Structure 1
Amino acid sequence: MKRSTERILTTHTGSLPRPPDLTAMLESMDGGSALDPAAFDGRVRRAVADIVRQQVDAGVDIVNDGEQGKVGYSTYVRHRLTGFGGKSGVPSRADWADFPEAAARAERRSAVSRPACDGPIEWQDRGAVQKDVANLRAALEGVRPTEAFMTAASPGVIAHFLRNEYYPSREAYLARLVDVMKEEYDAIHRAGFVLQVDCPDLAMGRHLAFPSLSNAEFVKIAEANVEALNHALRDIPPDRMRLHLCWGNYEGPHHRDIPLREIIHVALKARPQALSLEGANPRHEHEWVVFREVRLPEEKILIPGVLDSTTNFIEHPELVAQRLVRYAEVVGRERVIAGTDCGFATFGRSTLQVEPEIAWAKFTSMAEGARLASQQLWR
């Protein structure tokens, strides 16, 4: 994995705005409609080629496929695996529950399906990840990013969104997800891309899935999720992996988010070398100080969010630079890569929190902010 050896590098969390016609295809497929496979595959391939060029043009150093062919960063697996014929529903958000009048007025965005596990989990489309790999490889021809990564859902976040109604225990469900998803993780690594495992379950799970537990009780669940994840990642070198941690990519109160200082020790036990985490939104920006209290292991890299992925405000480059310098002064400039709080199109749906053209303007601002920070840190 590349480090910021000469300047602060830039990247993002994974999902990027999809073309409207591709979004319509994904929504239709997720709703159960049959698509022309050749037409869908071709549209995804073109979208990936376009999104890689857009990232490079916007100043993003470490790029990906924008998750263009996935209906959701976590729920996409139901289209690749068997056993998901039940219905999970959407869990209530503990933070919004404290403000019922506001919750009643909150905008309801189009939703993706969340089936439940109601049968044995097996692969039914092993070729899907190979298509992802081929699309990104083709898109990288003729462009020169610093590096490329691909995302995959962690066993814990799959268990969070797709409820277990089949396996005898949560532990058994996680274990089966580990065995199955390991194939996808290994395939991404073999293709030569950095693997990012998405693990919002380690933070978001506290107030969305386990609101009745104490923080200490939730931490035990997070530790079990990390133990399962490490087993799935056992054959991949840590320096070829990054982990994304977040508290839920939505605009809301977030006052029930578990503090970073209570879960950071769990996240740092995970095998991936780099840790991507929220650092721009008003609920978590202040938590850079946690790394004054908690020593970051020498081999680890931080990818703090310097762009808020839930607001159409475009961060000023000088603010981006300030955020990066804070982290660099605590953990060292070579161990900081500029990132985003979360994705800009977490699910393939027609309504987004951030307008696509504004998302790209944010990336341009991030690149300029990283340049300003580099001038200060390498002078």
Structure 2
Amino acid sequence: MPIRVTHVGSLPRTQATVDMIFARERGEDYDSAAFDAQMAAACSETVRRQVEAGVQIVSDGETSKISYATYVKDRYTGFSGDSPRNAPADLKLFPSFLKRLADEGGTPQYARPMCTGPVRSKGQDELQKDISRLKDAMAEHGVAEGFMNAASPGVVSLFLQNDYYPSRDEYLAALSDAMREEYRAIVEAGLYLQLDCPDLALSRHMLFADLSDAEFVKIAQTHVEALNAAVADLDPSRIRVHICWGNYEGPHVCDIPMDKVFATFLGVHADQLLFETSNPRHAHEWQVFRDRKAEIPESKILVPGVVDSTSNFVEHPEVVAERLGRFAAIVGGDRVIASSDCGFGTFAGFGAVDPDIAYAKLGSLAEGAALVNARL
């Protein structure tokens, strides 16, 4: 099978879409029918542009979500108030840069409530609308494969911190139980389930900066255990897992190395592994996959990010091909899918990359994959 093309999930939203999302976020009056119509039209256009760029495994761009993790506050009970903000440790080392980001609006502003009560599903209506919109858009534009993002228990616990359950483990268990239905619904709809797990790397320098790497890895393993409990009865070949160190331009000098979280990452009950390799702090870590090839089960498919999601440089197709070729040499081209480092619209209305440039990057991604396929 040739190398196929996908991306991590979120894509730039139109201003009309962002305006409606924030009207709902602020609790303003809005027309729910108009909201649904706008989300459907935006999802269709997002899928059309992915197809035009050469993406073969598409998403809804997370069109209707305020962000990839905090959307759960709208779909589950138990959240209120606000969580403390904690800047990544690397930005704290460079306070002048952190101030510049804040002054320039380089840090997104959105609600991060605490967990203050039992976490339970409010029902799957919003999810089912997202699923229907994506499947309708796929049918309209002739796409066979699609995926939908869902937050992992660990990343929810990172951004919506616990002020109710007696322990972190009990909070994770409650999230695992509550989100099981969401995960199952995506798979049963015929879509790939993408589990977003930046907590397995990013939370090292955000929430657990005072711990040693070894102590953090033990915590990350509890996150994986909670996640695996929620998807234990689902087919791992239908599941993707994404790890990252934070989708922001910054020094990243406090990032935990991939080598230290490698086994934990591979321990997720998912066959498709999405990870950053364009990030300049992690571009060299393709070597971890080469050197630890024996630890990678035959069922695992590598989905490296070979275009960056924080820069407006459009990678040359030959650069993309070079990056993909390294992984094809390790596990074979039939076990590699081309992707981006992270999402291009992680938070509604916020993104470092110009929308048109984001799609140009996806186009270059597809061209680079085609080059590798021709050579293989």
Alignment of 1:152-163 (within 5 A): 152-163=150-161
Q: Distance in 2 between matches of 1:290 and 1:331?
A: 13
Partner of 1:309: 309
Cα deviation, residue 147, structure 1: 1.2
What number of residue pairs does the alignment pair up?
371
Kindly provide the CA deviation profile for residues 276-325 of structure 1, in whole angstroms up to 9, marking residues without a partner as x: 00011211111000012212211100100011000000000000000000
Partner of 2:146: 148
Partner of 2:347: 347
Structure 2 residue ranges without an equivalent (≥5): none
Partner of 1:226: 224
Partner of 1:318: 318
Kept in 2, the 8 Å contact 1:291–1:331? The answer is no
Cα deviation, residue 177, structure 1: 0.3
Q: Which amino acid aligns with 1:83?
A: G
Match of 1:85 among 80, 85, 105: 80
Partner of 1:360: 359
Kindly provide the CA deviation profile for residues 33-58 of structure 1, in whole angstroms up to 9, marking residues without a partner as x: 23221111111011111111111111
Kindly provide the CA deviation profile for residues 212-263 of structure 1, in whole angstroms up to 9, marking residues without a partner as x: 0000000001100001110000121110101001001000010100000000
Q: Which amino acid aligns with 1:165?
A: D
Cα deviation, residue 142, structure 1: 3.2
Q: Which amino acid aligns with 1:359?
A: A
Q: Distance in 2 between matches of 1:137 and 1:202?
A: 30
Cα deviation, residue 28, structure 1: 2.4
Q: Distance in 2 between matches of 1:40 and 1:125?
A: 19
Alignment of 1:168-183 (within 5 A): 168-183=166-181
Q: Distance in 2 between matches of 1:40 and 1:256?
A: 41
Kept in 2, the 8 Å contact 1:75–1:158? The answer is yes
Kept in 2, the 8 Å contact 1:112–1:348? The answer is no
Secondary structure of the corresponding residue to residue 194 of structure 2:
strand
**Deviating more after overlay: 32-41 vs 351-360:** 32-41
Partner of 1:213: 211
Partner of 1:23: 18
Q: Which amino acid aligns with 2:314?
A: I
Q: Distance in 2 between matches of 1:180 and 1:34?
A: 29
Kept in 1, the 8 Å contact 2:121–2:179? The answer is no
- Give the TM-score of the pair, scaled to structure 2: 0.97
Partner of 2:373: 374
Partner of 1:164: 162
Q: Distance in 2 between matches of 1:52 and 1:137?
A: 10
Partner of 1:73: 68
Q: Which amino acid aligns with 1:310?
A: T
Matched, 1:252 2:250: yes
Partner of 1:36: 31
Match of 1:105 among 100, 105, 124: 100
- Give the TM-score of the pair, scaled to structure 1: 0.96
Cα deviation, residue 122, structure 1: 1.6
Kindly provide the CA deviation profile for residues 133-162 of structure 1, in whole angstroms up to 9, marking residues without a partner as x: 111111112323341111100000001000
Change (3 A) 1:44 1:337: same
Q: Distance in 2 between matches of 1:124 and 1:34?
A: 21
Q: Which amino acid aligns with 1:124?
A: K
Q: Which amino acid aligns with 1:366?
A: L
Q: Distance in 1 between matches of 2:84 and 2:38?
A: 30
Kept in 1, the 8 Å contact 2:138–2:144? The answer is no
Q: Which amino acid aligns with 1:315?
A: E
Q: Distance in 1 between matches of 2:77 and 2:252?
A: 34
> Kindly, what percent of the aligned residue pairs are identical?
51
4+ aligned runs moved over 6 Å, structure 1: none
Q: Distance in 1 between matches of 2:176 and 2:30?
A: 30
Kept in 2, the 8 Å contact 1:52–1:64? The answer is yes
Secondary structure of the corresponding residue to residue 137 of structure 2:
helix
Alignment of 1:330-341 (within 5 A): 330-341=330-341
Q: Distance in 2 between matches of 1:224 and 1:199?
A: 13
| RMSD (Å), alpha carbons | 1.1
